Structure 1
Amino acid sequence: MRKKISVHDLRLGMYIEELCGKWMDHPFWKSSFKLDDNKDIVALQQSAIREVWINIAKGLDVVEQAEELSAEVAERVQEVLQQAADITPKVEERVSLEQELERAKKLQSKAKHAVMSMFEEARMGKALPIGEMSTLVDEINQSVSRNPGALLSLAKLKNKDDYTYLHSVAVCALMIALGKQMGIEGALLKSLGMAGLLHDVGKMAVPDEVLNKPGRLTEQEFDVVKSHPVRGWEMLKESFGVDDVALDVCLHHHERVDGTGYPDKLSGDALSLHARMGAVCDVYDAITSNRCYKAGWAPADALRKMAEWQAGHFDAVVFKAFVKTVGIYPVGTLLKLKSGRLAVVTDQSSQSLLKPIVKVFFSSRSNVPIKMELIDMSRSQDVIESVEDAAKWGLDVMKMTGVC
């Protein structure tokens, strides 16, 4: 039996059947689950969700819970809730994009050379330096925790010579950020980061003239490229210290939920959560990066395209969590505000996915630069009117965000 209740009436032991609101308004990647953690109650009460449907056949009812709790237990629950509320904002100590960029630039350079070295070892059939990669994943995790936008913005600055290496770094960072959004932590979160770093190692078995071909691939050449998940899996399974998560993501990051992917045409429950996450992160970084055969899409455009493909390509729950990870307007998106000012997204607001932190710098009405100003759209009277094409305005949004 279902019952709609206020989030303020939630108690441990209840089973939430449905959250009443848009998926972007709540902090969970799932919409039905049993409440067995006080932090989940606090997160719901602090979100934009005001009511939920509970299933009293699977969990406690409001009255039953109230009767069951003694005064002592009720007092203890309230104490724990308050403690959780006090510490929740401090779980991730975020810094501004500008503060993290310098550290991220050094880390990106270090990571690129480390991955280049690892891939060269793979090309020559040598043992992979998994211990070194493990340390690198820890550093990437720390940067993502401080500000995910910094490293992810830098990762877009790829050329045809370093695309494969920086793509691996970017997918590592995206897997970690997505994992955090989905409530994954500890050893599993690190495994996801390692999986992102190693997922394309099989491309070292693909000839450079095919991998970096600027024109359309022949059917035979495409078959060679499509062999890289299996070739990578074969390399990794012989490497000491590579776990099942990395092997799974390497082999299946090109699978699709409708079974039309490769190499095994898996679908439904046959696809692991980790592989579904890898698919989303891999595609997003690929289509937002400049390649030898095409220019990358703007982040907001990429998300719109992925939303169009989502039904057959991506897991719906994972994709929604991914959008919450990078934001409706990811860092680097060029916006036109109702005031006529142009602005570039520099960070996400903690208040709303639809109201990021932006840097205004140009008047479209006067067609002249204006004094730069950082604005949190969640606290501004101005509103976003449209997403703009930077090329149309002759602008380099990476320079505007301070990335380069």
Structure 2
Amino acid sequence: MFVSSLDRPWLESPFPVQGFPVKSTRDRDELGEFCNSVYVDVRRSRIASIPKHILSQSEPVDPASNSAQIYALTRRRRPTPYPKATSRKEEMRRAKTHCQAMESVYLTLQHDARNNRGVNLPELKSAIEPMVRSVVRNPDAYIWLTHLKSMDKYDYHHALSCAVLAVAFGRHLGLPMAQLNALATGCFLFDIGKAKLPGKLLNNTRRLTRDEFERVKQHVNFSLDILGQTRGIDNQIRAMIQTHHERYNGGGYPAGLSGDQIPLFGRIAGMVDAYDAITSQRPYCQPIPAYTAIDLLYQWRGIDFQSELVEQFIQVVGIYPVGSLVELSNGTVGVVICQNEHLRLHPQVMILLDSKKQLLEEFYEIDLRNGLDDQDPHTLSITRGLPPGAYKLDPRLYYF
């Protein structure tokens, strides 16, 4: 049988969020260690494994129902508190320099954590603040750079991606600069306690046992211990780190908080942490396409994450987030490189393959807004999103 849902949040279990088939008694027993009940997707199960009386009662689920509602969200218009002040290409040059500095700072943070030292807060601020200013000027540059991540530096790339996404989200909400800096700092530090866990445990390629999973959860306390040795950490940042694994329905950890018991920054951190994790290559799990992750977030609204925050986040990243591979209505294939605010279904795309799916000698960019106002029937649009690695494409190899 194919397990499609659990009686608790996927992200608080060692199982892949996209679901999985139960192939052995060991799989069943592992489920029993974490769950009292699970949901089975009849359509994705081997028919012989489903009792006939259940099979006859099963009703197909409309896969487009979530998508239609998500599309509607992207068309909502709201005032832009921070208009884009620079072009993507201009901001990219600055962001590349900032990224290198931030990686060096993060490696120092990890080294200090392993040696029971606190955070060098002035050094961290000197790296965080230029990144925040860059995202405020134009978030597309940094969001693109964070997409070019590698598994061998997952801890750093995850911290940076979460910080960038949180700032882009805070920018969308119109938060003041001081709070944007706090959001970035909290995201950069919320997993620093993992530096005190064995690498063998964190890089395990199999499902974790209950005991191993409980041990991984201790990283929250380790992070707080490190902050306890650091002067000048804002209480808002401390609370954010303490609560980024709490869930809106009370199913998270370490305290089982729910709803408004979780501070706003903790709710934001939990959401961007989950989104980046499931779209990243990890030792034990393949990434899922960003557009699928958006659909999952929408399904989890009001359960794992506050509904209003999920809906606003979708407006920030769009249906096809920066870095997504997409196929256009003329058959060409490209990668999303820039969002158009208020027109998230019509981003800017760099074309990599022609309509016959052959690699182009020279790539070119196209803005899918063009022709919309004139209602030109030949206006290009995205027909579908593609999974990472489709047609053996790796955007990291083609951009710079």
Whether TM exceeds 0.5 here: the answer is yes
Give 2:87's aligned residue.
95
Aligned 8 A contact 1:156 1:290 in 2:
no
| TM-score where L is the length of structure 1 | 0.74
Matching residue of 2:266: 275
SS where residue 178 of structure 1 aligns? helix
**What is the aligned partner in structure 2 of residue 396 from structure 1?**
394
- What is the aligned counterpart of 1:24 among 74, 88, 95? 74
Instruction: Find the aligned partners of 1:321 and 1:166 in 2 and give their Cα distance.
Output: 24
Distance 1:254 1:158, change over 3 A: same
User: What aligned pairs does 1:161-180 form with structure 2 within 5 A after superposition?
Assistant: 161-180=152-171
Alpha carbons of 1:384 and 1:241: their partners in 2 closer, same or farther (altered >3 Å)?
A: same
The alignment's C-alpha RMSD in Å is 2.2
Gaps (5+ residues) in structure 2?
Answer: 1-70, 372-378
Identity among equivalent positions (%) equals 30
Determine which of 369, 373, 382 is the counterpart of 1:378: 369
Query: Displacement of 1:264 after TM fit?
Result: 0.8
Q: Which amino acid aligns with 1:277?
A: I
Total equivalences in the alignment: 323
Provide the C-alpha distance between the structure 2 equivalents of 1:170 and 1:248, rounded to a whole number of angstroms. 20
**Which residue does 1:321 correspond to in 2?**
312
1:183–1:27 Cα change, 3 Å:
farther
Q: Deviations over 1:88-143 (max 9, x none)?
A: 798430312x3333332222121111011012112211131011111211111122
| Equivalent residue in structure 1 for 2:293, among 285, 302, 325 | 302
Moved more, 371-380 or 265-274: 371-380
* Contact 2:82-2:171 at 8 Å conserved across structures: no
Which residue number corresponds to residue 276 of structure 2?
A: 285
Q: Is the 8 A contact 2:346 2:367 kept in 1?
A: yes
RCO higher in 1 or 2 (8 Å CA, sep ≥ 6)?
Answer: 2
- Could you tell me which residue of structure 2 aligns to residue 57 of structure 1? none
Closer/same/farther in 2, CA of residues 342 and 308 from structure 1, 3 Å limit = same
- Secondary structure of 1:254's aligned partner: coil
- Cα offsets for 1:65-93 (capped at 9, x unmatched): xxxxxxxxxxxxxxxxxxxxxxx798430
Q: Which amino acid letter does the alignment assign opposite residue 387 of structure 2?
A: D
TM-score norm. by structure 2 comes to: 0.75
Supply the AA of the counterpart residue of 1:193: A
Which digits, 9 at most, give the CA deviation of each residue in 1:29-53, with x for residues without a partner?
xxxxxxxxxxxxxx3xxxxxxxxxx
| CA distance, structure 2, for counterparts of residue 208 and residue 393 of structure 1 | 33
- Report the CA distance shift for 1:378/1:158 in structure 2 as closer, same or farther (over 3 A): closer
Name the CA distance, whole Å, in 2 between partners of 1:142 and 1:346. Answer: 20
Return the letter of the residue paired with 1:326: V
Equivalent in the alignment of 1:235: 226
- The one-letter code sitting in structure 2 at the alignment partner of 1:178 is F
2:205 is matched with which residue?
Answer: 214
Q: 1:281 to 1:89 in 2, by over 3 A?
A: closer
> How many angstroms apart in 2 are the aligned matches of 1:161 and 1:389?
21
Per-residue CA deviations over 1:275-334 (Å, capped at 9, x if unaligned) read 110011111111122112223222222212222233311111111221122222111111
Equivalence for 1:186 = 177
Q: Is 1:131 matched up with 2:122?
A: yes
Query: 2:241 is matched with which residue?
Result: 250
> Distance in 1 between the 2:73 and 2:327 partners?
26
> Could you say what secondary structure the match of 2:301 adopts?
helix
- Output the CA distance in 2 between the equivalents of 1:264 and 1:90: 36
For the Cα contact (< 8 Å) 2:246–2:256, is it kept in 1? yes
- 1: distance between equivalents of 2:343 and 2:229? 45
C-alpha contact 1:337 1:382 (8 A) present in aligned 2:
yes
Q: In 2 relative to 1, CA 201–393 (structure 1 residues): closer, same or farther, beyond 3 Å?
A: same
Matched residue SS, 2:302: helix
8 Å Cα contact 2:117/2:226 also seen in 1: no
User: What is the aligned partner in structure 1 of residue 19 from structure 2?
Assistant: none
CA contact (8 A) 1:94 1:145 kept: no
Consecutive unaligned residues in structure 1, runs of 5 or more: 1-20, 29-42, 44-87
**Residues 91 and 157 of structure 1, relative CA distance in 2, 3 Å threshold:** closer
